[in-house]
Amino acid sequence: MNSFVLGFQDIDKHKLSAVGGKGANLGELSKIKGIQVPEGFCVTTASYKKTFENNEELNDLLKQLSYLKANERKKINAISGQIRVIIEGVKIPSDIEEAVTGHISNLGEGGSYAVRSSATAEDLPTASFAGQQDTYLNIIGKDSILKHISKCWASLFTDRAVTYRIQNGFDHRKVYLSVVIQRMVFPQASGIMFTADPVTSNPKVLSIDASFGLGEALVSGLVSADIYKVREGSIVEKKISTKKLAIYALKEGGTEQREIDAEQKMKQTLKDNQIIQLESIGRKIEKYFSYPQDIEWCLVDGKFYIVQSRPITTLYPVPKATDGKNHVYISGGHMQMMTDPIKPLGMFFFQIVVGDHPSREIGGRLYMDITHDLASPFSRSLALFLMKMIGEDLMLNAVKGLVKRKGLTKSLPRGKEKVFIPDSKDKPSMGFISHYIRIYRENDPVNIRKIIDDDQRVITDLQKDIDALSGNALFSFIENSLRNMKKVVVSSESTGALTVAMLAMQWVNKKLEKWLGEKNLGDTLIQSVPNSITADIGLALMDVSDVVRQYPAVVDYLNHANDQSFYQALAQLEGGSKVIDAIDAYLQLYSMRCSGDIDITRLRWNEQPTALIPTILSNIKNFPMGGHQLKYEQGLKDSKLRVQALLDRLKQCPGGNRKAKKAQKKIDIMRNHIGYREYPKHAFVMRYDIYKKALLKEADVLVQRGLLQNREDIYYLYFDEFQTISNTHELDYSIITKRKADYEIFDMLTPPRVITTEDGIIAGVYHSKNTVKGALPGIPVSSGIIEGRARVIHSMEEADISEGDILVTAFTDPSWTPVFVSLKGLVTEVGGLMTHGAVIAREYGLPAVVSVENATKLINDGDMIRVNGTEGYVEILSE
């Protein structure tokens, strides 16, 4: 058997490295009884390697390409273009050419063929390279086929393919290309079939896209397809589209677009019996691969041919009900403003914070089971009310739409376990009412300071107590500490303080809108408030920036610093020791923070101090010396002026003096207490850091014993598993290996807000009447309108912000606060009125819109945008 060419009959999944994902799948498809696959063969990766392995010019360019980042588009374009020219210009070795032409002769020299690229990293369960390389249809003749093999090889280096590999961490020098040569079929209709609904992820619903002619028109987006949804042999939904164009093969080779005849434009592409037949084929293929499939099909003279099948890599897992009933889940991550997956050890600690409410881990995220909340009228009303208070409108609207479905609520199982009506042991003590009344009457920020100082003493004692512990004593101590943590952090006094702040804020917004006709005016009055941990995190880093800016050598070093040698290299520079002292002083207060810090496994700033560097440099660029004090005083001054202006306006209203007096008191209460809003979470995170350091010491013991490869392996163990391994010194390491692979898959998925066991993902929509046409709707969480440059940023570590920029990101939490000091506005894909990013935006006086779906995809980095934080939408002004 020639290693340069393999027929489909000689290919299976074990030949992936030789024929790539597409080729391997076609070999497997050819083995399924009853599935028609057009004949063909693969030009293997051995051919690609032999042709180019000793090409020094190509290897040098590949090395240059490996240093580039995804945003270096011009360099990618230039180097990729040079590589393609080289590849297309190299003559295919004679022994490879003979092997290819021999197979063509066997299939028929006068036939028409599809020539398709098949990369070795393509169509894997963890990544789909579909569409990244090129396909050529209706190629006739040996010379033309050989020419298009070279074109396919070159397409491994299109800009889109190179960028995709960079984004997904694939080495350009280790991704090879096979070429699939497959006999063409000339269909009357073709399309794509998903064996799980790609919109809802429902595995019970199969979705078919169909149109006339070749499928390339559909795949390329040239035409709108019919869409058929099928469930267990029944068509449950049809959408017949107007079909204006189709692609057909030409006799002399190649393809052309043709307009569809008028009588066919609105004709259903497939008959109902053909739709059901296609579903049966799809289920057979899915069963063979044991994974939901994305299948390309063709209909030729009443017979279905399958020309490709690949795993669907974007499906969010739909949970199966253990009791056979329909269950409804809402995302805890969306409510916490952190939608990234959480590793198993982090999930254990997150569940402790959430409490004993019914929940389930789905796709590496925590979901709350609100089934029983929705089953009865009273608990349903309470659940919807409290969800409205959270302010996650898309989640709320999705649940509202769900409960309106006929017969749904009656079909839900009833039970005592509810999310929004917790057990009595989880209810806050009624003592918080007396604390609320006292705090409200005294209206003294010193009360808040006392709560914080008392908690700091508890944390100091916790650190002392845990330092001497190890083994079982440590695990028992942490379990007991966790049980007491919520009681301490969310005590009656703490709950009373939070309630005072929240009710005062609600009163101010509601009454001022009623009296003055403007929404959310309270948002503009809470800059520079006392006891605000979120504001302090950002302002304190400006002091570090003031130390750094005095030493040019340090500033230069920070532009290329790395974690491994950070402090050692810094100490060698002029002023380095003073900068280290400033950073250490900052980390003494905030070292436990990081992005997504509700996950205990995330790298904290004390583990990765370089995460702060972009913000330090941005502060130097955007602010003068003493920026901390200037910004605080300016915020205080602006708030006082706004308060006075509102009071003056109120006095002009009927009953104005009385209204102004009431408003003054409520505004004072709001300002004195609203800063405490973020402290309870900060208290959790401080404890997390103490637990984490102690657990990592235990991990070091297991590394020394050879049970773990590195200390971070414990992140892929649940707490009880870690304790058992620590006791028994036994571990099946394959558990960790599998969970690492699972985490990589989960990290690529977009978690839904609402998901059910029967219908999969339930999407919510906005119903605002005030959105400008063409704008992106969201939730208004911080009033005001601002225009500026969009900075689309996915992690704080890449936050190169200029004065006046508007941050566009998936989500923020308090760890992002240092970035906020330079911003003029905020747009996030996740969040509600009381989530962390919204609170920070209000404290810094930034217009903000959250829960803007796909904001980081629809808005490009550098676009000029307008953020309307009063009405809740974002306009793209220019790209």
Active site members: 836
Phi and psi at 373, nearest 5°, equal -65, -35
Please tell me the number of Cα atoms within 13 Å of 50 on its side-chain side.
17
Helix, strand, coil share of the chain (percent; to 5): 50, 15, 35
List Cα–Cα distances, 150 to 46, 144, 227, 773, in angstroms: 14, 10, 36, 47
Rg (CA), the chain: 31
Structure-token pair, residue 789: 């440059």
Q: Is 485 exposed, middle or buried (0-12, 13-18, 19+ CB in 10 A)?
A: buried
Residue in the structure block whose two tokens are 């001022």: 512
Task: Check residue 785 and give left, alpha or beta (phi > 0: left; psi -120 to 50: alpha).
Answer: beta
Distance CA 560, CA 821 (A): 23
Phi/psi of residue 107, nearest 5 degrees: -85, -25
* Alpha helix (H) residue ranges in 38-109: 45-52, 56-66, 73-89, 94-107
Q: How far apart are CA 777 and CA 766, in angstroms?
A: 7
Cα dihedral 800/806/811/816 (nearest 10): 50
Closest among 699, 693, 711 to 467, alpha carbons compared: 693
Cβ atoms of residues 80 and 65 within 8 Å: yes
Q: Are strands 255-259 and 303-311 parallel, antiparallel or unpaired?
A: unpaired
How many other CB atoms are found less than 10 A from the CB of residue 468? 9
The amino acid that residue 478 corresponds to is I
DSSP 573: S
CA dihedral (842, 847, 849, 855) positive or negative:
negative
d(CA 567, CA 582): 12
Q: Which residues pair with 295 in a beta bridge?
A: 193, 309
Burial (0-12, 13-18, 19+ Cβ within 10 Å), 284: middle
Answer whether 187's CB lies under 8 Å from 112's CB: no
Burial class (CB in 10 A: 0-12, 13-18, 19+), 404: exposed
Q: With residue 5 as reference, give the H or E element that holds it.
A: strand 5-7
Q: Do 532 and 449 meet the contact criterion of CB atoms below 8 Å apart? A: no
Rounded Cα gap, residues 375 and 410, in angstroms: 7
* Backbone torsion region of residue 766, taken as left when φ is above 0, otherwise alpha when ψ lies between -120 and 50, otherwise beta: beta
Please identify which residue in the block is written with the tokens 């796909």: 854
Q: Report d(CA 844, CA 529) in Å as an integer.
A: 10
Residue 229 structure tokens: 């949804």
Structure tokens at 415: 């039970």
